[in-house]
């Protein structure tokens, strides 16, 4: 006996209870409960043990991929269940939202996670007291950057809360601890405004977690004295840098 029930119709077959290795009554191995040559049609599943149709896997009626449970706990992003598609942080959609959020903060470079690209403007102006300068940081409109309110009366060989000027007046230092996090690299520093009447160049570097600017005369290469230059007009430097 090949099966409990078999009915052949126009070269099609339906086999229910396919049997193998029959040794006696009530003793047989079932390879399949139902076997058919063509697809089997069924209604909308109601209970957890009901058969699921292909449509149920693709239209979201029965199986909603947004709510697929993910048991893994990530370390490089945080699942975000704030979206309508997610019921809790374990949903696949919450994990995808967390990844999408994290992509906003990624810098493709050396592969170190968590680093932030920043852009700010350094304003160097004449101070209230003669032979001093006033320095501030202002974020650009199109990118996130550190902001430090103007600190007045920075003298040569002196310091304010966030800035230091060397004895010659040509090396300006930003205290890295006063930024959002410590700086690890300066990608560019460009003089975008110079009303001093003297063409200058600027070379940035990171020293002991601080950002230093070396200002030189563009024609001679000699270090300039910022306290003298800004008597005539403001100097503005656009700074692009990376924070930890």
Q: pLDDT for 17-41, tens place per residue?
A: 544 544 444 555 555 666 667 776 7
Give the tokens for residue 206.
Answer: 């990171």
Is 92 or 25 the better-scoring residue by pLDDT?
92
Give tens-digit pLDDT for 66-86: 778 888 888 888 898 898 888
- For 14, residues 6+ apart whose C-beta sits below 8 A from its C-beta are 6, 7, 34, 35, 36, 37
Note the pLDDT of residue 24.
47
Give tens-digit pLDDT for 143-181: 899 999 999 999 999 999 999 999 999 999 999 999 999
Is 90 or 62 the better-scoring residue by pLDDT?
90
Task: Locate the domains of the chain by residue range.
Answer: 116-243
Q: What is the DSSP letter of 143?
A: S
Whether residue 13 has pLDDT greater than 60? no
> Taking the CB of residue 213, how many other CB atoms lie within 10 A of it?
21
Note the pLDDT of residue 51.
72
Average pLDDT, the chain: 83
Note the pLDDT of residue 36.
67
Count of H helices and E strands in the chain? 3, 12
Whether residue 11 has pLDDT greater than 60? no
SS3 211: strand
> Taking the CB of residue 194, how many other CB atoms lie within 10 A of it?
19
Note the pLDDT of residue 195.
96
Give tens-digit pLDDT for 105-150: 666 566 676 788 899 999 999 999 999 999 999 999 888 999 999 9
Q: What does the pLDDT average to over 184-212? A: 96
């Amino acid at each position: 006996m090949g099966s409990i029930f078999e009915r052949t119709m126009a070269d099609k077959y339906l086999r229910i209870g396919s049997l193998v290795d029959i040794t006696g009554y009530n003793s047989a191995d079932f390879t399949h409960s139902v076997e058919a040559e063509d697809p089997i049609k069924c209604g909308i599943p109601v209970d957890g043990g009901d058969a699921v149709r292909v449509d149920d896997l693709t239209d979201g009626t029965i199986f909603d991929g947004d709510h697929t449970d993910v048991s893994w706990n990530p370390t490089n992003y945080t699942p975000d269940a704030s979206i309508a598609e997610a019921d809790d942080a374990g949903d696949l959609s919450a994990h995808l939202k967390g990844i999408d959020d994290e992509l906003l903060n990624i810098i493709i470079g050396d592969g170190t996670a968590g680093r932030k690209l920043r852009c700010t403007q350094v304003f160097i102006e004449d101070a209230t007291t003669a032979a001093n300068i006033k320095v501030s940081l202002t974020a650009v409109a199109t990118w996130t950057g550190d902001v430090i309110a103007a600190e007045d009366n920075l003298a040569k060989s002196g310091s304010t809360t966030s800035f230091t000027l060397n004895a010659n007046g040509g090396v300006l230092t930003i205290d890295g601890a006063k930024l959002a996090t410590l700086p690890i690299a300066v990608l560019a520093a460009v003089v975008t405004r110079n009303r001093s009447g003297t063409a200058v160049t600027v070379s940035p570097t990171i020293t002991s977690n601080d950002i230093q600017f070396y200002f030189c005369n563009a024609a001679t290469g000699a270090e300039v004295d910022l306290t003298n230059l800004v008597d005539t007009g403001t100097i503005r430097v656009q700074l692009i840098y990376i924070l930890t």
